[in-house]
Copies of this chain bind each other. A is one copy, B any other.
C-alpha cells in the first residue's frame, strides 16, 4: 500500500480510537507532497458535514490556496458532497480504499466530470468501517443522510 493511503487509514484508525466514524483522507500535490490529512469528525465535533475528505480539505486550506491537479485519497468512496468538493476545487484524481460499505456515492458525478477514480478494494478499509457500522448503525446512517 502506498504511503498516502496508509496516511488515510491511520486517520481512520485514529477516528475509531476517538469513538468516531473510521474514515480517513489525505491530499497529495502534483509533486507527491502530502498536503494534509483528515478524518470524519461527525461524532467528535457534532459536525454532520465533517466527512473525512471535507476535514482534509479544511485542514489543507490553511496551507494551500488551490487544490487544482491534486490527488485525494479516501478510505471510502466519496459521497456526493465530497465528490462535489473534488470537482469544485479542481482535484483530478481520487484514490479510494473501498466502495462496498457505501454504494449510493458520488462516483458517477466524478466520472462524468473527468475525475480519474481508482478503487483499491482494500480488505483493511472494508473491515474497519464494517465493524463500526455493525456497532453504531445510527451514527452511520446519519452520516449518509439516511435517518429521518
Q: Which residues of A contact B (CB under 8 A)?
A: 42, 45-50, 54, 57-58, 60-62, 65-69, 79-85, 87-90, 106, 109, 142, 144-148
Contact = CB atoms under 8 A, between A and B. Distances in A.
Contact of A58 (B50, B65, B79, B145): B50
Contact of A46 (B50, B62, B81, B89): B62
A12 B95 CA distance: 36
10 contacts: A45-B61, A46-B62, A50-B58, A50-B61, A54-B54, A65-B142, A68-B147, A80-B87, A81-B87, A89-B145
Contacts of A45: 61
Contact of A79 (B80, B84, B106): B84
B68 A57 contact: no
Contact of A84 (B61, B66, B83, B146): B83
Contacts of A83: 80, 84
A84 B85 CA distance: 8
